Chains A and B, each alone.
Chain A
Amino acid sequence: MDIFKLTIKDIRAGLSNGDFKCVDLVKAYLENIKLKNESINALVRISDTALDEAREIDRRIADNEDIGVLGGVPIAIKDNILLEGKEATGGSQILEGHMSVYDATVVERLKKAGAIIIGQANMDEFAMGSSTETSHFGPTKNPWNESRVPGGSSGGSAAVVSAGFAPCALGSDTGGSVRQPASLCGVVGLKPTYGRVSRYGLMSMASSLDQIGTFTKTVEDAVILMQVIEGKDSKDGTSVELNDTTVPELIDSSVEGLVVGVPDEYFVEGMDEEIKKSVMDAVSKLEESGAKIEKISMPHVKYALAAYYIIMPCEASSNMGRFDGLRYGYHSEGSGLRDTYRRTKGEGFGEEVQRRIMLGTHALSAGYYDAYYRKALKVRTLIKKDFDDAYKKVDVIITPTSPSVAWELNEKFDDPVTMYLSDIYTITANLATVPALSVPCRPVDGMPVGLQIMAKPFDEYSLYRVGKFYQSITEWHQQTPA
Chain B
Amino acid sequence: MPLSKKEVQHIANLSNLHLSNEMIEKYRVQMDSVLDYVQKLNEINTDNIAELQHTQDVVNVFREDVPVDCDSKTKKAIIENFSHRKGDLLEVQAVFNDTEK
Contacts and interface: CB of A to CB of B under 8 A. Distances in A.
B40 A416 contact: no
Contacts of B74: 101-102
A374 B53 CA distance: 10
Contacts of A309: 34, 37-38
Interface in A341-388: 341-343, 345-347, 349, 351, 354-355, 357-359, 361-362, 365, 372, 374-382, 384
B38 to A, nearest CB: 4
B92 A326 contact: yes
B49 A365 contact: no
A417 interface: yes
A248 interface: no
Interface in A313-364: 317, 325-329, 331, 334-343, 345-347, 349, 351, 354-355, 357-359, 361-362
Interface of B: 8, 11-12, 14-19, 23, 26-27, 30-31, 33-35, 37-44, 46, 49-56, 58, 60-61, 74, 77-78, 80-84, 90, 92-95, 97-100
16 contacts: A238-B54, A238-B58, A306-B38, A310-B38, A326-B90, A327-B81, A328-B82, A338-B98, A340-B93, A346-B18, A351-B23, A354-B17, A359-B31, A361-B14, A380-B51, A381-B51
Contacts of A358: 8, 11-12, 15, 17, 27, 31
Name which of B30, B39, B99 has the most chain A CB atoms within 10 A of its CB: B30
A457 interface: yes
Contact of A355 (B31, B51, B83): B31
Given A307-B41, A376-B41, A339 B100 contact: yes
A335 B100 contact: yes
Interface size class of A (residues with CB under 8 A): 35 or more
Contacts of A336: 93-94, 97-100
A303 interface: yes
Interface of A: 85, 97-99, 101-102, 194-195, 208, 237-238, 240, 300, 303, 305-307, 309-310, 317, 325-329, 331, 334-343, 345-347, 349, 351, 354-355, 357-359, 361-362, 365, 372, 374-382, 384, 414-417, 420, 432-433, 457
A85 B81 CA distance: 11
Contact of B77 (A101, A208, A303, A359): A101
Contacts, number: 165
Nearest to B60: A237
A354 B37 contact: no
Contacts of B12: 358
Given A194-B56, A339-B18, 13 more contacts: A98-B81, A237-B60, A307-B41, A336-B100, A340-B93, A355-B27, A355-B31, A361-B11, A362-B35, A375-B41, A381-B50, A382-B49, A417-B37
A416 B38 CA distance: 13
Contacts of B77: 85, 99, 101
Given A99-B80, A337-B93, A382 B11 contact: no
Contact of A303 (B41, B55, B98): B41
A359 B14 CA distance: 11
Nearest to A366: B14
Contacts of B23: 351, 354
Given A300-B44, A381-B49, A381-B50, A326 B15 contact: no
A239 to B, nearest CB: 10
A240 B78 CA distance: 29
A100 to B, nearest CB: 8
A195 B54 CA distance: 11
Given A345-B16, A377-B51, A306 B37 contact: yes
A446 B38 CA distance: 35
Given A194-B56, A326-B83, A354 B19 contact: yes
A416 B100 contact: no
Contacts of B39: 306
Nearest to A238: B58
A318 to B, nearest CB: 11
A208 B30 CA distance: 25
